[in-house]
Structure 1
Amino acid sequence: MTISPRGQKRSIRIANCSGAMSDEGAFMYKQCTEGPIDAVTGDYLAEVNIAANSQAYRAGTHPGWEPTAEEGLMLSLDVIAEKGIKVVINGGSLNPKGLAEKVHSTAVERGLDLKISYVTGDDFYDQVDSLLTPERHLAHFDSANHDVKLAKDTDDFLNDPNRVIVSANAYIGARGIVAALRADADIVICGRVADASPVIGLAMWWHGWSEKDYDFLAHSLLAGHLIECSGYATGANFADFDRYRPQEKLVDLGYPIAEISSDGTFVITKHETLNGIVNLDTARAQLLYELQGNLYLNSDVTADLANVEIKEIGKNRVEFSGVKGLPPPPTTKLAIFYVGGFQCEGMIVATGRNSTAKFDLLKLQITRALEILGTKDQLDILDFQEYAHAEPNPHDQKAGSSFMRLFAQAKTAAVAGSLGRALYKFGMQHFSGMHSTMDYRTFIPKQFLAYYPSLLPQSDITESAVIIGKNGEKDIVIPAGNISESISLSRDSYETSNPVDLATFGETVYTAMDEVVLGRSGDKGANVNIGLFVHEDDEWDWLRTYFTGDLMKRLVGDDWKDEYYLERVEFPHLKAVHFVIYGILGRGVSSSVLLDCLGKGFADYIRSKYVDVPKKFLARYEGKTILIE
């Protein structure tokens, strides 16, 4: 067993304090003070974060880092120094150097003996134009799958001489983090590292792993994935929450902790003093969230999850093993954001049983008005989306109301804004009872950013750790090297290998599957992933047999389009079936026409669909509640 840098054989205990920029600084402080930990990580970046602030940062009106990351460090610096806690976060965003320097100066002011560092190598903004030449042709992230059809306008910007790129950041790995930690850095500020890289880097440093200890690295990759979304592993975004009592225990959650052993196997847990739950269901849900399929790609390692196993070993303690590691892919994702145009939207309300007829009239009016304005054919997207249909015999007016979302995108603000003008043009010819919010500012066009995830060779990345010099000394730059080997693999897609005769499950009831089947879904660029899982062995035989790719397409319903592509794999030890639907989110979250642009509601939509569920399964869960101790 590898001896850690502190001369111990024990696991490293890594707490996560953030899964998004909304997680306030208090969460870092709680993780540092509510129980023993060795390190704290924070994931403050979604795919659009960096892009959203890039123009303001380059104009000098934004610091470039995430304010909640700064807040957490300022609250926690004293206890970090007192307890010797290591910190690795990606909250540096566009300007990790600036945040590191601010933390350094604050530590000096407070008399704290802390070595501060930051990682470079992810920002390709100044180089991106030279990379987007026809000779280089940075391929789209999904281009290797020839069955995938990219959404309309996805790569038009490549040939646009007037394009405005606002950010280009590569998902770098853990090498810079490890270099900083091996130079005794206490706090490592990163920009766009891959989400799990802070955890991988801390585990590599603690246990002395090499870059080729792939099985160990793959486990730490999964550990990072499990804790990177903060509350998602401790009871948030959890499909079965309504069975748990008391509900107050699911408010103000404690965030997860990964205890990673020297062989990579790990336990997910939390501070016992804080609210929340860690059990097989919350663990499986987060494991299945935003997966790419059976192979999980990272800049440092490829994790084969086909045989991953989980086991509940105590209260709020779930153990993971069985992950196989392989070399990393030769490429990583370069997230390019550019000005895609302008969009506007608004919500219109209809009351009564005939809302569909009312909305049909509205669509005719708006279409005709756009024709008169001369902008109908200039709109890139014009979409009418109906939501929340009125209940029959409603108990109040809210229950008797339906909503339509109007959405438009265009290259110019004037054309996009014509949606609002079209609504106004026939404003006094509206259907009976039409109403809306009195604030029509949503119809004012706003610039939107489009997303192009490209494949960048890892050999193009020059990654370094920078240690800020103390007492006026020069900063120390430590080159972090590059991957020494790589492998290109294709993900599997298959139906179950040994289906069971569905008749053996007995009488069925045509009802919503959510009484028996749990799930989690999320976005991966233009794609949505969904994992569905059950509890018992017979339920698993039914799920893997019944839930085919064709069934998933039917359940997607009218949202399914022939240009989408579907992958299906199984995780037998999780009793889970996993799907990726390529293309359903358009060009991705920042420009998707969908209200659920992050795909978070997709699992609950599918789980609400009616299927033939064995009656004996339903009986197991009828009226079931679970006590949170």
Structure 2
Amino acid sequence: MNRPVRIANFSGYLGDRFTAIDEAVAGDPVDVLVGDYLAEITLAALAGRHRQNPKLGYVEYFLDQLRPNLRALAERGVKVVTNAGGFHPEGLAEAVRELAEAEGVRVTVAHIEGDNVISRLATYERDGHALENLDTGRPLSSWGVEPLAANAYLGGWGIAAALAEGADIVVCGRVTDASLTAGPAAWWHGWSRTDWDALAGAVAAGHIIECGSQAVGGNFAGFTRIANMLKPGFPIAEIAADGSSVITKHARDGGEVTVDTVTAQLVYEIQGPRYLNPDVTVHLDTVRLNQEGRDRVGLSAVTGSPPPPTTKVAVFGQLGYSIVNTVFVTAPEVDAKIDLIRAQISQDLPGGVALDVTRIGSATTDPETQWDATVALRVMATAKDRAALVELNLSGRLLSLYLQSIPGFYHDGGASMAGSPRPRIDYWPALLPLSVVDHRVVLPGGKTIEVSAPEQTGIQPQPVHPEPAETGAVRRTRRAPLGAVAYARSGDKGGNSNVGVWTPDERAWPWLRDTLSTMELRRLLPEVKDLDIVRHEFPHLRAVHFVLRGLLGTGGSSNLRVDQVGKAVGEYLRAKHLPIPEELLTDVAD
């Protein structure tokens, strides 16, 4: 096993392309397939299914993806590692064994458990563990919401141990996304718990490939420059014994792997240059990327240090209920029309009901088509009690306005109005010492392997980067969108949104670094002007990174924004116009 291990992703979230395992089996040879199905809110949904039916709580369609490919995977000796176990990894592991028996295929299936800590919250509190909120520092006891699910983020050493014991398929719950890759790499190369640089390299590679096609051109700001974006493939990480890697893809599939598609993943959903993992702290500001060939990007110089003594615990609880519907307003006098609709539907609200009315889009002047004159109006009602929203009857209120409200009022006649309130789930990102989390491997027959907490830990604060100073340089500029010279990628980390902005043009980096100050960001994005903003620089990636604290409220599952988890903040920023040096715009039309 001296050669690099080839680890291929086949899922980036619950709902990703169903045919991904089929594509991986038909693609280039790999050693391990990894599938990530869990976002923060996904576990809460799976927990609800588990509460309703203790036999469920895992990603059931994973079995349907696996079934037609199980024999080929077994014959080739390809390992499969997935967090599709969700809230019930033991249940999915047993279901995979039953599937293998029915298909006449011999595979060894193990599962990882210990992440589900909902039953231990009271014990933790009694023992003095406050499960402080990552953003506010407040103890969980101050939340005022009854927890429904609580899952600690586990590292990759349980996966490595399961593979070392001969497991062919390893079913996990809430391990970190990157652990799905780091665990197999550590097993393959026989790393020790203190091989910090190698582990950091594997975690970085795992972070790049964890989101499926995103590393191959999906969700990429430069998508118009990517060939065959109709169906971008899934990425592969070739991880060497020293932790360096090459990010590539199956040759037969669409999309491309470039320095920029990989950069987009490196700056995605991070809190800064120190990327914390239960096994290692990754120093992302040391990373070097190099285009080594077509669809081959080298990842090197990643350094690591001991992990923090704590891990994150995702706690969810039901905050109440919500219901949302959308109607449409047509120019002229859009503002006045929206004001009237808001006033009409706000009359005599039941107690405890709050309305959030959001205008989406703007009508063009002298529209060419009716849709150029149209804006959407999203109306969301929230309440602690479901009965209050039933009494509100939001769809009835909106439908009653046809003959008594604005001229041209209508809703989408091809879609039904939502009438049933949905649970509104709040998120509490907590901290818990790794030493009190049970992390174990369960093998066939019930044999277990306890995975100890790391012996060496350390607290690595995020570096502080000074704001750029005024240069006083006089340059000929032209107003143009930031996207003319820079790419961006944004996402969510609990209640915070992050956005990384980088330039593929080496000439533009000094200007980007000096221009994108925190003050300038507040000017460009009025929505964040009152937020706490953290700014970092990644010179080797030619990137400036911001954390927008509180933009998403307390989390994507409960905030009222239309862009609920901040996926479009980066593109919104790229659409903003500002003075850009003309020499950087030589290939950009007015």
Q: Which bracket does the TM-score occupy, shorter chain normalised?
A: over 0.9
2:33 is aligned with 1:43: no
Q: Given that residues 153 and 311 in structure 2 are in contact (C-alpha distance below 8 angstroms), is that contact kept between their aligned partners in structure 1?
A: yes
Count of residues paired in the alignment: 587
2:398 is aligned with 1:429: no
Q: Distance in 1 between matches of 2:501 and 2:6?
A: 30
Q: Which residue of 1 aligns with 2:440?
A: 464
Q: Which residue of 2 aligns with 1:258?
A: 237
Q: Distance in 2 between matches of 1:25 and 1:171?
A: 26
Q: Which residue of 2 aligns with 1:227?
A: 209
2:330 is aligned with 1:361: no
Q: 1:198 aligns with which of 157, 167, 180?
A: 180
Is the partner of 1:429 in helix, strand or coil? coil
Q: 1:297 aligns with which of 271, 276, 287?
A: 276
Q: Which residue of 1 aligns with 2:552?
A: 585
Taking a change above 3 Å as real, the CA distance of residues 25 and 117 of structure 1, as seen in their structure-2 partners, is farther
Q: Distance in 1 between matches of 2:437 and 2:182?
A: 19
Is the partner of 2:183 in helix, strand or coil? helix
Taking a change above 3 Å as real, the CA distance of residues 415 and 274 of structure 1, as seen in their structure-2 partners, is same
Q: Shift of the alpha carbon at 1:561?
A: 5.0
Taking a change above 3 Å as real, the CA distance of residues 502 and 445 of structure 1, as seen in their structure-2 partners, is farther
Q: Which residue of 2 aligns with 1:93?
A: 86
Taking a change above 3 Å as real, the CA distance of residues 587 and 509 of structure 1, as seen in their structure-2 partners, is same
Q: Which residue of 1 aligns with 2:484?
A: 515
Q: Distance in 2 between matches of 1:233 and 1:572?
A: 21
Q: Shift of the alpha carbon at 1:425?
A: 6.9
Q: Which residue of 1 aligns with 2:454?
A: 483
Q: Which residue of 2 aligns with 1:5?
A: none
Q: 1:111-145 CA deviation, whole Å, 9 max, x = no partner?
A: 3232110011101122224445695321002236x
Structure 1, unmatched stretches of 5+, are 1-7, 145-149, 469-473, 624-629
Is the partner of 1:329 in helix, strand or coil? coil
Taking a change above 3 Å as real, the CA distance of residues 156 and 258 of structure 1, as seen in their structure-2 partners, is closer
Q: Distance in 1 between matches of 2:193 and 2:412?
A: 56
Q: Given that residues 468 and 513 in structure 2 are in contact (C-alpha distance below 8 angstroms), is that contact kept between their aligned partners in structure 1?
A: no
2:564 is aligned with 1:597: yes
2:318 is aligned with 1:343: no
2:170 is aligned with 1:188: yes
Q: Distance in 1 between matches of 2:517 and 2:77?
A: 51
Q: 1:223-263 CA deviation, whole Å, 9 max, x = no partner?
A: 00000000000010011112345xxx112221000000111
Q: Given that residues 258 and 297 in structure 2 are in contact (C-alpha distance below 8 angstroms), is that contact kept between their aligned partners in structure 1?
A: yes
Which amino acid counterpart does residue 31 of structure 2 have in structure 1? Answer: D
Taking a change above 3 Å as real, the CA distance of residues 493 and 382 of structure 1, as seen in their structure-2 partners, is farther
Q: Which residue of 2 aligns with 1:406?
A: 379
Q: 2:303 aligns with which of 324, 328, 343?
A: 324
Q: 1:268 aligns with which of 247, 261, 266?
A: 247
Q: Distance in 2 between matches of 1:203 and 1:114?
A: 20
Q: Shift of the alpha carbon at 1:489?
A: 2.2
The 5 A counterparts of 1:549-560 are: 549-557=518-526, 559-560=527-528
Q: Distance in 1 between matches of 2:135 and 2:290?
A: 34
Q: Which residue of 1 aligns with 2:574?
A: 607
Q: Shift of the alpha carbon at 1:396?
A: 1.8
Q: Distance in 2 between matches of 1:270 and 1:166?
A: 39
Is the partner of 2:104 in helix, strand or coil? coil
Taking a change above 3 Å as real, the CA distance of residues 112 and 443 of structure 1, as seen in their structure-2 partners, is closer
Which amino acid counterpart does residue 238 of structure 1 have in structure 2? Answer: F
2:359 is aligned with 1:386: yes
Q: 1:462-491 CA deviation, whole Å, 9 max, x = no partner?
A: 1111111xxxxx322111222112111221
Q: Distance in 1 between matches of 2:141 and 2:359?
A: 31
Which amino acid counterpart does residue 285 of structure 2 have in structure 1? Answer: A
Q: 1:455 aligns with which of 392, 416, 431?
A: 431
Taking a change above 3 Å as real, the CA distance of residues 340 and 317 of structure 1, as seen in their structure-2 partners, is same
Q: Given that residues 25 and 75 in structure 1 are in contact (C-alpha distance below 8 angstroms), is that contact kept between their aligned partners in structure 2?
A: no
Q: Shift of the alpha carbon at 1:25?
A: 4.3
Q: Given that residues 125 and 168 in structure 1 are in contact (C-alpha distance below 8 angstroms), is that contact kept between their aligned partners in structure 2?
A: yes
Which amino acid counterpart does residue 391 of structure 1 have in structure 2? Answer: T
Is the partner of 1:177 in helix, strand or coil? helix
Q: Shift of the alpha carbon at 1:622?
A: 4.7
Q: Distance in 2 between matches of 1:425 and 1:561?
A: 38
TM-score (norm 1): 0.89
Q: Given that residues 216 and 265 in structure 1 are in contact (C-alpha distance below 8 angstroms), is that contact kept between their aligned partners in structure 2?
A: yes
More displaced 10-residue stretch of structure 1: 99-108 or 606-615: 99-108
TM-score (norm 2): 0.95
Q: Shift of the alpha carbon at 1:58?
A: 1.8
Which amino acid counterpart does residue 430 of structure 1 have in structure 2? Answer: S
Q: Which residue of 2 aligns with 1:208?
A: 190
2:7 is aligned with 1:14: yes
Taking a change above 3 Å as real, the CA distance of residues 296 and 440 of structure 1, as seen in their structure-2 partners, is same
Taking a change above 3 Å as real, the CA distance of residues 277 and 499 of structure 1, as seen in their structure-2 partners, is farther
Is the partner of 1:217 in helix, strand or coil? helix
Q: Shift of the alpha carbon at 1:17?
A: 0.4
Q: Distance in 1 between matches of 2:403 and 2:3?
A: 73
The 5 A counterparts of 1:540-551 are: 540-551=509-520
2:114 is aligned with 1:121: yes
Taking a change above 3 Å as real, the CA distance of residues 352 and 291 of structure 1, as seen in their structure-2 partners, is same
Which amino acid counterpart does residue 267 of structure 2 have in structure 1? Answer: L
Which amino acid counterpart does residue 186 of structure 2 have in structure 1? Answer: M
Which amino acid counterpart does residue 479 of structure 1 have in structure 2? Answer: E
Which amino acid counterpart does residue 24 of structure 2 have in structure 1? Answer: Q
Q: 1:133-184 CA deviation, whole Å, 9 max, x = no partner?
A: 695321002236xxxxx9xxxx897464xx5432111111112111101111
Q: 1:59-113 CA deviation, whole Å, 9 max, x = no partner?
A: 2187221123222222221111111111111011111111111211222333323
Q: Given that residues 17 and 255 in structure 1 are in contact (C-alpha distance below 8 angstroms), is that contact kept between their aligned partners in structure 2?
A: yes
Q: Distance in 1 between matches of 2:542 and 2:470?
A: 14
Which amino acid counterpart does residue 383 of structure 1 have in structure 2? Answer: D
Which amino acid counterpart does residue 255 of structure 2 have in structure 1? Answer: G
Q: In percent, how many aligned pairs have the same letter? A: 36
Q: Distance in 2 between matches of 1:63 and 1:205?
A: 30
Q: 1:445-468 CA deviation, whole Å, 9 max, x = no partner?
A: 221111111111111111111111
Q: Given that residues 523 and 529 in structure 2 are in contact (C-alpha distance below 8 angstroms), is that contact kept between their aligned partners in structure 1?
A: no
Q: Shift of the alpha carbon at 1:444?
A: 3.4
Is the partner of 2:372 in helix, strand or coil? coil
Which amino acid counterpart does residue 514 of structure 1 have in structure 2? Answer: G
Taking a change above 3 Å as real, the CA distance of residues 266 and 499 of structure 1, as seen in their structure-2 partners, is farther
Q: Which residue of 2 aligns with 1:147?
A: none
Q: Distance in 2 between matches of 1:501 and 1:185?
A: 62
Q: Given that residues 439 and 451 in structure 2 are in contact (C-alpha distance below 8 angstroms), is that contact kept between their aligned partners in structure 1?
A: yes
Q: Distance in 1 between matches of 2:71 and 2:470?
A: 58
Q: Given that residues 256 and 268 in structure 1 are in contact (C-alpha distance below 8 angstroms), is that contact kept between their aligned partners in structure 2?
A: yes
Q: Given that residues 110 and 442 in structure 2 are in contact (C-alpha distance below 8 angstroms), is that contact kept between their aligned partners in structure 1?
A: yes
Taking a change above 3 Å as real, the CA distance of residues 362 and 77 of structure 1, as seen in their structure-2 partners, is same
Taking a change above 3 Å as real, the CA distance of residues 373 and 599 of structure 1, as seen in their structure-2 partners, is closer
Q: Shift of the alpha carbon at 1:28?
A: 1.5
